[in-house]
Structure 1
């Protein structure tokens, strides 16, 4: 029987203690975990981040509390934490897609669709870390406001306010001058 969020009731219970059960429990969330890892840790290996998140989730599976959020929100919060750690590890090496002037390095390729995406990515990278997390969770990982709040560790009102501020900032950054 599905819950109000459309997830089967079994998917909202604590993660199974056995390996195959845990794999089945996390499998529906892997794509969202990979998308979020890729968005939050540009330059890092998103598969490594997801693997670290899964290892952490396995180790902490007894701490999952269905009354505090969905499995998706719990797993994505762990993924976001692992992505932040990966970015901190990258900083000394300077492996970013941004050149020394702070502009994205597009290289010799120039296509309108690629240029537009790079403009959006550059604008998103200029948001505060909290705004980026909200945008990535809500728009790119396709989480609800409630699940985004669970990932961010804040209230739904804070998520709505943060998204509003981020949209306003993005609107300003992406305005096309005529």
Structure 2
């Protein structure tokens, strides 16, 4: 009888979620190296793999929560070392993207995490609640507040 090593089992456990982890890392820590953030999250997940309880959430939610934590740490480190970049002339489409990025940056961290999880990573409200470690109703109200804030911010930008 062939046994599966811890490493192979872990690899099989995380593989389906790597793309979502990378998308979330890129959204939450745009100035950090996405692959570094994912790698740090994987190391953390490996170290705490025996603490996972499937009754408390899905592997996806667990891994994305760890990724969100690591992305926050990476963003904090990056903000301390980055110098401002001068503005460059841009096309109209680039201007729209810039306005959206600037509006997203003005959201609270919690609002931005909810928006990123649902709209950029494609998680459900239930999965987002697990990542954010809160109730589904809290995610819904956070998303509603974020959308209202974005509506105002983007109208002002136009």
- TM-score, normalised by the number of residues in structure 1: 0.81
Aligned to 2:147: 167
| C-alpha distance in 2 between matches for 1:106 and 1:157 | 39
Q: Where does the alignment leave 5 or more consecutive residues of structure 1 unmatched?
A: 1-15, 100-104
Higher relative contact order (CA 8 A, sep 6+): 2
| Residue-pair matches, total | 155
Q: Where does the alignment leave 5 or more consecutive residues of structure 2 unmatched?
A: none
Task: After the TM superposition, list the runs of 4 or more consecutive aligned residues in structure 1 that deviate by more than 3 angstroms.
Answer: none
* Deviation digits for residues 38-85 of structure 1 (CA, Å, limit 9, x no counterpart): 111121111000000001111111111111111111000000000111
Paired residue secondary structure (1:33):
helix
- TM-score, normalised by the number of residues in structure 2: 0.91
1:91 equivalent in alignment to 2:54: no
Displacement, 1:177? Answer: 7.5
Query: What is the root-mean-square deviation of aligned Cα atoms in Å?
Result: 1.8
- Structure number with the higher helix fraction is 2
Aligned to 2:39: 51
Displacement, 1:129? Answer: 0.6
| C-alpha distance in 1 between matches for 2:120 and 2:98 | 15
